[in-house]
Amino acid sequence: MCPKYERNNRRTQFLFVLCPFFALIIFSFIFFKNEKAEEHHLEIKTPDEAIADLKNGNLRFLENKSVHLNYAHEIDLTKKEQHPHTLVLTCIDSRVPPEIIFDQGIGNLFVARVAGNIEDDNILGSMEFATTIKHTKLIVVLGHNYCGAVQGAIDNIGLEHLTQLTSQIKPSINPHKTYPLSDYTIDDTSRKNVVLTIEKIIQKSATLEHQLKNKEIKIIGAYYDITNGKVAFLENNEVLK
């Protein structure tokens, strides 16, 4: 037999043996990812469990270990029902995607977005729907640094409908600080805006206030740093440091 033919034959046999091995590794990786994603679709029963899930998800995101990446599989999991454990009220800023930074799958979160993450009657109605009809356990008001809406409020930018929106942010501006605008000023105002928004939600919705007092839900603040991907959680309604 030709030596060249023998070498090619041995190479073919070697690859034939290895192919099932590599196929098993790939299958195991995909199965593990899908299994981990399904674990995060299990029902969360308490607000504290929801908070823990968001914290763990942000840690996975920071470590580049997100498990909710097989969207076709997640569509299949949620095509007949949804069980969102958290409603996130956040800004429209394109750099703040809640499902990604918390590593949450399709069907895990309700997300309400408005510039400056402020409340209004439509937002409150959405929250009441989430907690009462879908039994969502947690509401998170998620602010972020370098917020353009907050900057607009500080700069008194006036437009047809924007003026009314920024007027809701203005109470968060510290009247004792010396302006002009700085990154610190925007950041300080954004953090205070999270706290005031939570207070307004509780003041304006008797439904949510009742659920909060009965410990059926929690309403907390969080603050996303767009420069490093970290989320700081505010669980006692104190001003974020």
- Expressed in angstroms, the distance from the first to the final Cα of the chain is 78
Identify whether residues 97 and 20 lie together within a single domain.
no
* CATH number of domain containing 78: 3.40.1050.10
124-174 confidence digits (pLDDT tens): 999 999 999 999 999 999 999 999 999 999 998 889 999 999 999 999 998
- Whether 190 maps to a domain, the answer reads yes
The structure tokens listed for 195 are: 């706290």
76 is in an annotated binding site: no
Mean pLDDT (whole number) for 174-199: 83
Measured in degrees and rounded to the nearest 5, phi and psi for residue 180 equal -80, 180
Identify whether residues 106 and 214 lie together within a single domain.
yes
Lowest mean pLDDT among 36-40, 56-60, 62-66, 118-122: 36-40
Measured in degrees and rounded to the nearest 5, phi and psi for residue 6 equal -65, -40
Please tell me the predicted confidence (pLDDT) of residue 216. 98
- Whether 120 maps to a domain, the answer reads yes
Mean pLDDT (whole number) for 201-224: 98
Identify whether residues 4 and 119 lie together within a single domain.
no
Identify whether residues 136 and 122 lie together within a single domain.
yes
Residue 5 in this model has a pLDDT that exceeds 60: no
Identify whether residues 22 and 48 lie together within a single domain.
no
Bin 167: left if φ > 0, else alpha if -120 < ψ < 50, else beta: alpha
Q: Which of 70, 80, 142 is nearest to 111 (CA)?
A: 142
The structural domain count of the chain equals 2
User: At residue 202, what is the residue type?
Assistant: I
Q: Is 220 exposed, middle or buried, given 0-12, 13-18 or 19+ CB atoms closer than 10 A?
A: buried
2 is in an annotated binding site: no
27-58 confidence digits (pLDDT tens): 444 444 445 545 555 679 999 999 999 999 99
The structure tokens listed for 113 are: 């977005």
Q: Which of 121, 134, 123 is nearest to 83 (CA)?
A: 134
Residue 192 in this model has a pLDDT that exceeds 90: yes
Domain that holds residue 222: 44-234
Q: Which of 72, 79, 68, 76 is nearest to 39 (CA)?
A: 68
Q: What's the rounded Cα separation, in Å, for the pair 187 and 192?
A: 9
Cα 239 to its chain centre, rounded Å, is 20
